[in-house]
């Protein structure tokens, strides 16, 4: 391209806007008709190197967190669909609209949401599920940012301390599986507390930001005048069909294969570690020490993948029996 026809000539203002430090996300005012008008779903993978993933859903109007789950993945479509299914059953209906990013893990939720509305909206039911960039998924991103500063930071510091002491190796699938098995339930309980605290705290009025403001639980259950609950009922036959395409209950907390779970149950059967942070840590030490000793006795090499680790657990369980 000649100098006369360069971008500096044909699009000088656009070039200036795109220059480093000049490009800014356009902020928009958020509008909602009431509770259950829009649900925002998103995942958090800041602890993924430890085999720990978080997924959440927040009501756009009240900012009430509807689910906050930890598991062995937030990339599996059936796991996310299970979270959605459980909340729909609990509330007795689904939202008018679901907003998510473009991750493939949300596709089954999109199919379910569309099916729940197809009898009322027909060919327009697809409009009840919207995918877009994460930066415009305002409500979910706001809560995710808070989670990174508090809950994520706390557990990241703890796990990094285990790495520095040499008792946790990220490239060892056995260590990751032991960490998941001993800590996931405690992590979920901790997230339940985070959800309760968030849903009961006061959201204060902000300059240039439209309301309403107050406690998420209160705004969700008792919307102020001028707003209405937008929950859409779901037919029982659609719920019955949906149950066939979601994961089993608590499947997102199951670690590795059945042999690993049986092996861990046998190792910890008589230990009775307390269900506390220190108890989970002690259980982790017990597990990986016993499994490492078993590998050394049988001259088994350290697995490099989780698939190899699953085969190793089968061998160790047969030896223990």
Residue 100 covered by a domain:
yes
Q: Are residues 174 and 231 in the same domain?
A: yes
Tokens of 233: 């009922």
- pLDDT for position 146: 85
Q: Are residues 290 and 149 in the same domain?
A: no
Residue 51 backbone class (left: φ over 0; alpha: ψ -120 to 50; beta: rest):
left
Tokens of 297: 């006795």
Residue 29 covered by a domain:
no
Q: Are residues 151 and 269 in the same domain?
A: no
In 3D, which of 165, 177, 164, 140 has the Cα closest to residue 50?
Answer: 177
C-alpha dihedral over 235, 248, 194, 278, to 10 degrees? 160
- pLDDT for position 6: 67
Are the C-beta atoms of 176 and 170 separated by less than 8 Å? yes
Q: Are residues 194 and 220 in the same domain?
A: yes
pTM above 0.85, yes or no: yes
> Rounded to a whole number, what is the largest CA-CA distance in the chain?
81
Residue 30 covered by a domain:
no
Residue 31 covered by a domain:
no
- pLDDT for position 80: 96
Residue 156 covered by a domain:
yes
The β-bridge partners of 41 are: 57
DSSP reduced 3-state for 19: coil
Report the alpha-carbon distance of residue 13 to residue 130 in Å, rounded.
32
DSSP 41: E
Are the C-beta atoms of 108 and 77 separated by less than 8 Å? yes
Q: Are residues 240 and 299 in the same domain?
A: no
- pLDDT for position 1: 44
State how far the alpha carbon of 102 is from the alpha carbons of 56, 60, 71, 131, in Å.
15, 18, 20, 5
**For the chain, which residues score pLDDT lower than 70?**
1-7, 20-30, 134-138, 206-211, 321
Q: Which long-range contacts (CB under 8 A, 24 or more apart) does 119-124 make?
A: 119/235, 120/232
**Domain carrying residue 166:** 38-207+215-253
Q: Are residues 245 and 294 in the same domain?
A: no
- pLDDT for position 29: 66
Residues 74, 76, 77, 82, CA torsion sign: negative
Residue 13 covered by a domain:
no
Report the alpha-carbon distance of residue 197 to residue 54 in Å, rounded.
17
C-alpha dihedral over 97, 103, 105, 106, to 10 degrees? 10
């Amino acid at each position: 391209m000649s100098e006369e026809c360069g971008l500096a000539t044909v699009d000088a203002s656009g070039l200036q806007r795109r220059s480093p430090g000049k490009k800014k996300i356009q902020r928009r005012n958020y509008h909602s008709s009431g509770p259950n008008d829009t649900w925002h779903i998103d995942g958090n993978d800041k602890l993924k190197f430890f085999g720990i993933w978080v997924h959440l859903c927040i009501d756009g109007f009240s900012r009430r967190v509807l689910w906050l789950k930890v598991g062995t993945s937030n990339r599996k479509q059936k796991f996310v669909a299970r979270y959605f299914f459980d909340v729909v059953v609990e509330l007795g209906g689904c939202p008018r609209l679901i907003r998510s990013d473009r991750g493939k893990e949300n596709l089954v939720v999109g199919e379910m949401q569309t099916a729940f509305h197809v009898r009322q909206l027909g060919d327009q039911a697809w409009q009840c599920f919207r995918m877009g960039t994460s930066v415009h998924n305002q409500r979910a991103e706001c809560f995710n940012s808070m989670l990174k500063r508090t809950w994520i930071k706390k557990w990241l510091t703890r796990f990094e301390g285990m790495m520095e002491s040499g008792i946790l190796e990220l490239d060892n699938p056995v260590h990751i599986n032991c960490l998941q098995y001993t800590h996931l339930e405690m992590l979920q309980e901790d997230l339940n507390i985070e959800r309760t605290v968030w849903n009961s705290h006061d959201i204060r009025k902000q300059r240039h930001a439209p309301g309403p403001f107050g406690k998420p639980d209160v705004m969700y259950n008792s919307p102020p005048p001028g707003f209405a609950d937008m929950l859409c009922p779901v037919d029982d036959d659609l719920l019955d069909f949906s149950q066939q395409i979601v994961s089993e209950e608590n499947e997102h907390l199951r670690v590795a294969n059945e042999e690993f779970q049986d092996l861990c149950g046998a190792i910890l059967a008589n230990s009775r570690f307390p269900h506390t942070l220190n108890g989970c840590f002690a259980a982790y030490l017990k597990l990986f020490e016993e499994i490492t000793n078993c590998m050394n006795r049988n001259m088994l090499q350290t697995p490099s993948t989780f698939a190899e680790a699953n085969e190793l657990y089968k061998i160790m369980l047969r030896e223990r029996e």
